[in-house]
Amino acid sequence: MSLAIRRQSILPGFGLTLGYTLVYLGVIVLLPLAVLVLRASSLGLAGLWDIATEPRILAALRTSFSLALAAAAINVIFGGIVAWVLARYDFPGRRLLDAAVDLPFALPTAVAGIALAAIYAPNGWIGALIAPLGWKIAYTPLGIVVALVFIGLPFIVRTVQPVILELEQDVEEASATLGAARMQTLVRVILPTLAPALLTGFALAFARGVGEYGSVIFIAGNLPFVSEIAPLLIIVKLEQFDYAGATAIATLMLAASFLILLTINLIQAWSRRRMGHV
Amino acid sequence: MSETLAEWETRPAKIAWAPKTFAITFSKSPVAGEGPVLASILVGVTLVFLLLFLVLPLAVVFYEAFANGFAVYWEALNAPDARSAIWLTLTVAAIAVPLNIVFGLAAAWAIAKFRFAGKSFLITLIDLPFSVSPVVAGLIYVLLFGAQGLFGPWLKAHDIEIIFAVPGIVLATIFVTFPFVARELIALMEDQGTGDEEVALSLGASGVATFFRVTLPNIKWALLYGVLLCNARAMGEFGAVSVVSGHIRGLTNTMPLHVEILYNEYNITAAFAVASLLALLALVTLVAKTLLETRFKDALPGKSRGH
């Protein structure tokens, strides 16, 4: 490979393995993504804008982005507490709970979707509890938030937990002996240290939430303009053979996820500069 | 491995220290640490939150699956459509996972054992499928191979079916599980360096023998770890597969898609019966993953885990 300037090594197989890697990557990932971008560019920026600002698409994009943002924010608070407790406390069942945090990664999204819908439906375990209060979760935007909190939880916990484990406790002791109340130490000493990890986890959960499909559609109700998410609208457009519409939504979502990816990298670079480590 | 004082202080106390009755152990520092009230609130919030979002969803799957008794459960799994869905899911995973293993090994060898320009960019590209929505992952293959796609007319002329057929499902599955094996192996093999291989080669081992007798034993647990995660996602993928499958019962229906069809037909018990198999797969994956993390911690890459 001409672009690969490699240093002398006695190990064999560089050309073969790198060649295979590039070909496989190209065929499976890059070529298909390039076709999407090509299709989108044939619409032109104005065409893309026209489609994106169609009321139904705009509503779906707004639903996806705002609810993913809300779910990620909920996860920063509760996932942060979960990570703190799992890292700092011990109680019977802690290791079991710690392992269970990865459940949303392992459980197929369709299974999570029907399970959450069954729990929060008006006749479900929790749905029936809150129905007398006049509250409704399933088949409303609130249901989407519930599904996205489920999906996003491990991103926050698994990003923050290792950082908590690495905290030097002398700093907290110093803060305490200098007269800070525990809450002051938590908010003014520990929270700033955890901020980059919390932000990274937030961004990861947000990115996942924007694109999430399987766990959401069963609990969402999928009412256009109310609880219809952007990924579902891509499928609706495809079923109507509206390839331009599907392409436009997909391109916007792809652009958004790249922006988020870039932001995560910037956060980590910032954190490395500030802390000397990630 | 020696522990620094800080690690010792911040890690949770050993279970064995906890009294037999329910007890919360927290900071051993005399001055830093939450008081009993704040501590109880934090632990309580954690327990309620995890109960709501982890325990209940898992419990409801098995509860609903067995709600009408074991006979109904068994019947649901034994239905021809369910059996063909199970078979298709196993087939797709049996194709997609080995392909991603070969790719992961090749990519990790090239990236971790050699220095070359553009390496970190290549790693970013390999991780790319994780940041693409599953539905978009399905869509790109429709745009490529669908009736109106780039290769659509050519495929039609040659009577090759990819979209709404098994090849499309396999392709979409490969895409969404693409980085799992590679990212585990790259991280570990970069830590391990090239010393062992250089010794083997200079003692006269061939390149192939070096790989199978030196490298592979060094990375086997990380490989298994990546394969576990890759397989769980391959068998459970829904969004991407849903776009390319066409939902033809008995032909292009994987288990997650079959769950959706049954659920939308209000065949709730059958939907949860099939879902319970997938939940079982998730549980087995979690147990195996936790075992690997505790027993073979040193044989896995030491970075924080996501996905």
Minimal C-alpha gap between B153 and chain A (Å): 16
Give percent of chain B above pLDDT 90. 75
Residues of A in contact with B243 (CB under 8 A): 234-235, 238
Chain A residue nearest residue B279, CA to CA: A107
Nearest CA-CA partner of A25 in B168, B243, B138, B100: B100
Give percent of chain A above pLDDT 90. 68
Q: What are the pLDDT digits (tens) for A102-151?
A: 999 999 999 999 999 999 999 999 999 998 998 999 999 999 999 999 99
Whether B144 sits inside 8 A of A35 (CB atoms) is yes
Q: What are the pLDDT digits (tens) for B32-55?
A: 678 788 889 999 999 999 999 999
Is B40 at the interface with chain A, CB within 8 A?
no
Give the bridge partners for B25, in sequence order: A90
Instruction: For residues B262 and B268, give the distance between their C-alpha atoms in angstroms, rounded to a whole number.
Output: 7
Would you state the pLDDT for residue B304? 41
Instruction: For residues B259 and B276, give the distance between their C-alpha atoms in angstroms, rounded to a whole number.
Output: 10
Residues of B in contact with A238 (CB under 8 A): 139, 142, 243
Q: Which of B64, B113, B133, B293 to mutate to test the interface with A (most CBs of A within 10 A)?
A: B133
The domain spans of chain A are 55-274
Q: What are the pLDDT digits (tens) for B7-30?
A: 444 444 444 444 444 556 655 565
Chain A residue nearest residue B305, CA to CA: A158
Residue B228 Ramachandran class (φ > 0 left, ψ -120 to 50 alpha, else beta): alpha
Chain B residue nearest residue A242, CA to CA: B148
Whether A10 sits inside 8 A of B202 (CB atoms) is yes
Whether A78 sits inside 8 A of B49 (CB atoms) is yes
Whether A111 sits inside 8 A of B278 (CB atoms) is yes
Contact B277, B77 (CB under 8 A): yes
Minimal C-alpha gap between A150 and chain B (Å): 6
Would you state the pLDDT for residue B306? 41
Q: Which of A27, A31, A114, A271 to mutate to test the interface with B (most CBs of B within 10 A)?
A: A114
Say whether pLDDT at B104 is over 80.
yes
Whether B57 sits inside 8 A of A107 (CB atoms) is yes
Whether B275 sits inside 8 A of A84 (CB atoms) is no
Q: Which of B14, B304, B305 to mutate to test the interface with A (most CBs of A within 10 A)?
A: B304
Range name among B9-18, B26-35, B146-155, B261-270 with the lowest pLDDT average: B9-18
Residues of A in contact with B126 (CB under 8 A): 21, 25
Would you state the pLDDT for residue A104? 95
Q: Which residues of B51-64 are buried (b: 16+ CB within 10 A; e: fewer)?
A: ebbbebbbebbbeb
Nearest CA-CA partner of A249 in A265, A228, A263: A228
Q: Which of A14, A42, A61, A88 to mutate to test the interface with B (most CBs of B within 10 A)?
A: A88
Would you state the pLDDT for residue B31? 63
The ipTM estimated for the assembled molecules is 0.90
Is B111 at the interface with chain A, CB within 8 A?
yes
Contacts by B25-28, CB closer than 8 A, 24 or more apart: B25/A89, B25/A90, B25/A91, B26/A88, B26/A89, B26/A90, B27/A88, B27/A169
Chain B residue nearest residue A151, CA to CA: B53
Whether B129 sits inside 8 A of A99 (CB atoms) is no
Residues of A in contact with B136 (CB under 8 A): 36, 211, 231, 234, 250, 253-254
Instruction: For residues B301 and A41, give the distance between their C-alpha atoms in angstroms, rounded to a whole number.
Output: 40
Say whether pLDDT at A204 is over 90.
yes
Place of tokens 């991407």: B240
Closest by Cβ to B279, choosing from A18, A111, A207: A111
Amino acid at A209: G
Say whether pLDDT at A203 is over 80.
yes
Nearest CA-CA partner of A216 in A124, A163, A162, A146: A146
Minimal C-alpha gap between B296 and chain A (Å): 15
Give percent of chain A above pLDDT 70. 96
The pair of three-digit structure tokens given for residue A257, joined into one six-digit string = 């996820």
Range name among B17-21, B65-69, B183-187 with the lowest pLDDT average: B17-21
Residues of A in contact with B194 (CB under 8 A): 9, 11
Region B66-87 average pLDDT: 94
Residues of A in contact with B33 (CB under 8 A): 172, 182
pLDDT band at A271 (very low <50, low <70, confident <90, very high): confident
Say whether pLDDT at A277 is over 80.
no
Would you state the pLDDT for residue B26? 59
Would you state the pLDDT for residue B307? 41
- Domain A55-274 bears CATH identifier 3.20.20.70: no
Would you state the pLDDT for residue B25? 63
Region B217-229 average pLDDT: 95
Q: How confident is the prediction for chain A on average, in pLDDT? A: 90
Residue A89 Ramachandran class (φ > 0 left, ψ -120 to 50 alpha, else beta): beta
Question: What's the half-sphere exposure (Cβ side, CA atoms, 13 Å) at B106?
Answer: 19
Q: Which of A65, A81, A91 to mutate to test the interface with B (most CBs of B within 10 A)?
A: A91
Region A66-78 average pLDDT: 97
Closest by Cβ to B26, choosing from A88, A104, A250: A88
Would you state the pLDDT for residue B214? 94
Instruction: Report the C-alpha dihedral over residues B93, B99, B100, B105, rounded to 10 degrees.
Output: 140
The pair of three-digit structure tokens given for residue B115, joined into one six-digit string = 């220095």
Contact B81, B258 (CB under 8 A): yes
Would you state the pLDDT for residue B81? 93
Contact A116, A215 (CB under 8 A): yes
The DSSP secondary structure of A40-78, one letter per residue, reads HHHHHHHHHHHHHTSHHHHHHHHHHHHHHHHHHHHHHHH
Whether A165 sits inside 8 A of B10 (CB atoms) is yes
Instruction: For residues B8 and B61, give the distance between their C-alpha atoms in angstroms, rounded to a whole number.
Output: 40
CB pairs under 8 A between A and B: 347
Residues of A in contact with B143 (CB under 8 A): 32, 35-36, 39, 243, 247
Q: What are the pLDDT digits (tens) for A38-58?
A: 999 998 889 999 998 999 999
Would you state the pLDDT for residue B14? 42
Say whether pLDDT at A276 is over 70.
no
pLDDT band at A214 (very low <50, low <70, confident <90, very high): very high
Residues in chain B: 307
Question: What's the half-sphere exposure (Cβ side, CA atoms, 13 Å) at A140?
Answer: 9
Higher pLDDT: A235 or B20? It is A235
Would you state the pLDDT for residue A167? 86
Q: For A90, phi and psi rounded to 5 degrees?
A: -135, 135
pLDDT band at B303 (very low <50, low <70, confident <90, very high): very low
Give percent of chain B above pLDDT 70. 88
Q: What are the pLDDT digits (tens) for A170-201?
A: 888 888 888 888 888 888 888 988 999 999 99
